[in-house]
Amino acid sequence: MSGHRDDETLRRLEAEIPVPDHAPPDERVAVLRAAAEARRAASIAPRALPRRGFLLAGVGAAAGAAAGIGVYEVLDKDLPSVPTERIALTGAPAGVSATGELINHTWGIELLLTIGGLDAGSEYRLRYRATDERVVDAGSFVAVADEFLCRMTGSLLREDAETIELLDADDTVVVRATL
């Protein structure tokens, strides 16, 4: 506050705020200034978001989340831009289709397994077997009714890998690949 507005504001506040008449002028001014500052702070404090604005913000957030999930789904279905090695999966029972591509990472191998025709709701697990007969688990999944893509990774280096085996809950090999 400055100049004429200060004096006018102080006079209005003085009329509204009881200040003892016997208070020295400096104390009266300090009380009035504090009251003026409190009013100014209250007038610039953030106001509550109206219900309509709140609903619009919620709808906007939901739309943004849906768009993000959609973009993720589109990008996730694309095969990676790294070199892959197509592998032959054999032994699939009637009605089961399976294809695989292997990615040779510096830290291990990853199988891009596209599979369909498995018993929906049943659990399956994948393992890699090394040339020295060591077994490396590469994860598990629950089958769905449609064909789907699983990315199964293990800490076995490509040069050490000999076979890939997909097993059902009874530890029966469903499909296999010899590398």
What CATH number did the domain enclosing 166 receive? 2.60.40.3870
Tokens coding 151? 């990315």
Q: Are residues 66 and 143 in the same domain?
A: no
C-alpha 173, offset from chain centre: 34
Spans in the chain with pLDDT lower than 50: 1
Domain count, the chain: 3
Same domain, 8 and 66: no
Say what the pLDDT of residue 90 is. 95
Cα three-residue angle 159-160-165, rounded to 5 degrees? 110
Whether residues 56 and 17 fall in one domain: no
Does residue 41 sit in the same domain as residue 56?
A: no
Please tell me whether residue 172 adopts helix, strand or coil conformation. Answer: coil
- List 113's β-bridge partners, or say none: 100, 150
Can you give the pLDDT at residue 82?
87
Query: pTM for the complete prediction?
Result: 0.56
Q: First and final CA of the chain: distance in angstroms? A: 82
> Which strand (E) or helix (H) includes residue 36?
helix 25-44
Report the pLDDT value the prediction gives residue 72, as an integer from 0 to 100.
Answer: 61
CA 83 to each of CA 78, 110, 148: distance values in angstroms, whole numbers, following the listed order: 13, 12, 21
Same domain, 94 and 140: yes
Judgement on whether residues 107 and 165 belong to the same structural domain of the protein: yes
Give the structural domain span for 55.
Answer: 49-78
Query: Is the domain of 64 the same as that of 119?
Result: no
101 and 26 fall within a common domain? no
| Edge-first strand listing for the sheet containing 135-142 | 135-142, 123-130, 161-167, 173-178
pLDDT at 167: 97
| 3-state secondary structure at position 45 | coil
